[in-house]
Amino acid sequence: MAQDAVPSNKANSYHANGAALGAASQGRHDLSSDTGDGSRQAFIAPRLLKTPNLEHNPDSYEDLKDLEYPSAMYSAMERHLPPEFLSASRNNKLAVLQQVLARYRPNGERARIQKHREYRERIRGCYKPFHTELYTLDPERFFVQSFRDAIKDGTLEGFKRIMKEPSPGLYTFDMLQPSICAKLLEEVEYFERWAVECSIKIMRPNTMNKYGAVLDDIGMEGMLDQLMSKFLSPMASKLFNEVGGASLDSHHGFVVEYSMDRDLELGFHVDDSEVTLNVCLGKEFTGGDLFFRGVRCDKHVNGEVHPEEIFEYPHVPGRAILHAGRHRHGAKAITSGQRTNLILWCRSSVFRELKKYQSEFSGWCGECHARKKDRRRHLSADPKRSVAN
């Protein structure tokens, strides 16, 4: 869910991933799994290692249909298991990872996940896409030439050639072809009409938006996963490494809709993501600018705004803005027309687990940074205190 700029313990099926990993890493728990001969093999849930074993080739879990979390998450977590676990069979590693997650799942989470799975299966079993070409990512058809060239180059310099950074940590660039924007709009409108005709209540993207749809639910999960892993991750690893951009392993993709008779604006909040992609699809509209107010950790999410953090961003169809999920923001009221945006929340289960061990001041939080500078200034002014500390 989108999170108001207020610390909260609530979690959805995606946010629970980080909470579960973090809690599990605080201790060790006896686990066991079937060995295939009726006996059981005992395990102890390990504390995940801070540094992944990049030489280890993790198992793929994509062929398993009943996983509660994205298959990529299990592969990513596997790289952080201690060496003694890496030689276990896939079934045994899966048992360890599932038990770690299940033990710390919020109350009622299993029932909610099951309800959502049934909803998604019902849609995918009946819904016939309007534009089938949207469900497979073809770079030449989807992206403008400048974006494709930057991805092919793959360097920070190449990315920055197509980007503007109008405010620290906010990157804007042309991304989607006009034809793809138009087809995505048509697909969402077609799906919404179909849902009404079939008496299916659409599950909305988050608790703050009353209109829009989750694209993963209608069959675009594979396309969006490819968008994240092959096109956004190379950028995020260089631009947002401090906040998990180098280890993105799951996503939540959706569209939001604003008009005079729908959502008008969006309150001040942070996203349930490490990195967020926001692309305007159209249509014609006035107003509705995004406003940003600095990156914050959980502790300082309601902290004051520094003048240099204030920035407003006007939407342009086809143009993307990429920012940290913890970059506080909101949307001003639309004043005419209709605006629809594609949002992709990119998440890192590893980063969420490692956040549990961060020092007193995080390097990416604007308020932590200001307080750290303030402490250094006081220590410099008081040499005796500096020596004592």
| Average pLDDT, integer, range 28-53 | 53
| Average pLDDT, integer, range 324-336 | 95
| Average pLDDT, integer, range 170-194 | 98
Q: How far is it, in rounded angstroms, from Cα 253 to Cα 255?
A: 7
Same domain, 245 and 374: no
124: in domain? no
The model's confidence at residue 54, banded by pLDDT at 50, 70 and 90, is: confident
Q: Where are the alpha helices (DSSP H) in 143-177?
A: 145-153, 156-162
Q: Are 187 and 255 in contact (CB under 8 A)?
A: no
Between 301 and 364, the more confident residue is 301
DSSP state of 47: P
Helix (H, G, I), strand (E, B) or coil at 262: coil
Give the lowest-confidence range in 67-81, 139-153, 205-219: 67-81
Neighbours of 162 (CB within 10 A): 20
Q: Which long-range contacts (CB under 8 A, 24 or more apart) does 69-72 make?
A: 69/13, 69/17, 69/101, 69/250, 70/225, 70/249, 70/250, 70/251, 72/225, 72/229, 72/249, 72/250
pLDDT score of 383:
54
β-pairing verdict for 285-287 and 212-214: unpaired
Same domain, 78 and 19: yes
Q: How far is it, in rounded angstroms, from Cα 93 to Cα 51?
A: 18
Same domain, 338 and 324: yes
Residue 302, pLDDT above cutoff 60: yes
pLDDT score of 6:
38
pLDDT score of 32:
41
For the chain, report the end-to-end CA distance as a whole number of angstroms: 41
Between 254 and 8, the more confident residue is 254
pLDDT score of 253:
96
Residue 216, pLDDT above cutoff 60: yes
The structure tokens listed for 212 are: 């829009």
Same domain, 197 and 288: yes
pLDDT score of 66:
74
184: in domain? yes
The structure tokens listed for 219 are: 């069959």
Same domain, 161 and 217: yes
Residue 127, pLDDT above cutoff 90: yes
pTM to 2 decimal places = 0.74
- Residue 307's contacts (CB-CB under 8 Å, 6 or more residues apart) are none
Split into its structural domains, the chain has a count of 3
β-pairing verdict for 327-331 and 275-282: unpaired
Q: How far is it, in rounded angstroms, from Cα 242 to Cα 351?
A: 9
pLDDT score of 356:
65
| Average pLDDT, integer, range 303-314 | 92
Same domain, 168 and 292: yes
Same domain, 335 and 376: no
CB-count burial class (<10 Å; 0-12, 13-18, 19+) for 138: exposed
| Average pLDDT, integer, range 255-261 | 95
Which domain, by its residues, includes 370? 361-389
Same domain, 354 and 262: yes
